Amino acid sequence: MKSNFNNLIISLILVFWFNSVNAQSNENVSNWPQGVTYEIFVQSFADSNGDGIGDINGMTSKLDYLQDLGVEGIWLMPINPSTSYHKYNVDDYYNIHPDYGTLDDFKRFVEEAHKRGIHVVIDLVINHSGDNNIWFKDALKGPNNKYWEYYVWAHKDDPKVQPPVSADGTPRRWRSNWNKVEGSDYMYFAHFGRNMPDLNFDNPLVQQEMFKVGKFWLKDVGVDGFRLDAARHIFPDYRAVDSHAWWEYFLQEMKKVKEDVYIVGEVWAGSDLVAPFLKGIPALFNFDMGSTIIKAVNEENADSLVLEHKKIIDFYKSVNPDYVDCTFLTNHDQNRILSSVGDDMNKARIAASLLFTLPGSPYVYYGEEIGMLGKKPDQLIREPFLWNRTSNDKYRTSWETPKYSLETTVVPVEEQEKEANSLLNHYKSLINLRNHSSALTYGDLENVNTSDNPAICAFLRTDKNESLLIFHNLSGKRQSFKLTAELQGYYTSYYADKKVGINNEQVDIPEYSTVILKK
């Protein structure tokens, strides 16, 4: 009788209203860095003094917003003094750009973030300095200066600085990494452009300088770790082994100051080139996953999405069992996610759903949660954040006139907070769901075969506490999935963002929606 009653119950159509959640715990189970991290370009985020430039005090005033969003970490793009708007050419490694505030302002920001359980990671740009850095200015005085050996030089007649030639002897068009110095017979190496001269990590003095820089920000300022810019390029690619060894050395030195220091690296390459870095950089950004999600969403075809992700996970675990897989959709160097899916809000929503339900430690680029738009060049993917309508938005930055993220294209935060089904509240619901689920935060990944219907992405997330069966419909049409015998035990509602039908043998998944079931 009891079995018949249960079959009757599970055969009924279960209605899940928008953003319904049945989490297993009232407390967060995620333990950062396994939690969600939010990337901020300070200049565009929040302006506290009305000069049109985002600043540290503006960020501090918005920490409650980030806490409400559910993030447990913040990654800040460079904040050091610099001559560029993006600040990846550092003039002073021990200070804050004056447009952003003071070192005391930043220490207060870190303190207030920590009060809210939010960790702070800063961009550490040590592959190169800025050409306005005092080290480089002194180096330009000639080979007898101490700082000459801080950089990489070659004589102008050295074959390695000459442009390649074609078979007929004419020079080919090329982008040189070697840059002339006026009044000198020497050229300096700068992988990312003449205003970013590469530092010479064969010089022990440079190594010690960078240890001092890292320890200053960890010990004296109190940050929790670093995002390592251009980590792959410390040494040329043909000396990759030296780059791997350097980061292991750097990690050991940072642990002397902060045992649980968090180090996440940018190694933009295939998994075979990324993996060896994991011993010195235990957290790395998963560029492959972001592009795979975007491709699947655009093509409405999830055929290989889960299998490809699991392949990378297993490979990286074989190198470092404790590695942190830093997943994301797009970041400050890529077209924004909404623009990447053809300005289709439904596709942007399902892309976020995939990000937060697949394994990894998700990163969210500022503004993705409200549907900001943007395509390269870089300034146009780093446009001002929209807090409110212009007439009532004292925090809106104006350092740049936006082309993509306008009031006519993006609904600002204050209005989205009041709309139950807004993209912002979709992000909040998914982050909250993940923060409260041990399976979504730590669980293993197992593919569920949907080859007969590739518009459905289905997989299991399982740990010792719970097992979840997850469906994503990537298409604009309602899809049905027949439950195999081993999956028919999953019939309890856990999450759905639209009305969904389920019985003991089949799940009906609405267009562009997510359904999560548990045993």
Q: Would you list the DSSP string of 27-38?
A: S----TTSS-EE
Contact residues for 408 (Cβ-Cβ < 8 A; gap 6+): none
- Tell me if residue 229 is catalytic: yes
Q: Give the three-class secondary structure for 61.
A: helix
How far apart CA 180 and CA 184 sit, in angstroms, is: 8
How far apart CA 498 and CA 118 sit, in angstroms, is: 31
How far apart CA 435 and CA 437 sit, in angstroms, is: 6
Structure tokens at 407: 């009031």
Which residue among 266, 369, 383, 497 is the active-site one? Answer: 266
Structure tokens at 184: 């000198």
- Tell me if residue 266 is catalytic: yes
According to DSSP, the β-strands at 506-509 and 479-482 are antiparallel
Enumerate helices (H) and strands (E) in the chain, giving the number of each.
Answer: 16, 20
How far apart CA 489 and CA 484 sit, in angstroms, is: 10
Nearest to 143 by CA among 155, 125, 159: 155
Which residue among 123, 229, 383, 497 is the active-site one? Answer: 229
CA triplet 399, 403, 405: central angle to 5 degrees? Answer: 85
How far apart CA 439 and CA 466 sit, in angstroms, is: 6
Q: Are 69 and 34 in contact (CB under 8 A)?
A: no
Q: Among all residues, which ones are annotated catalytic? A: 229, 266
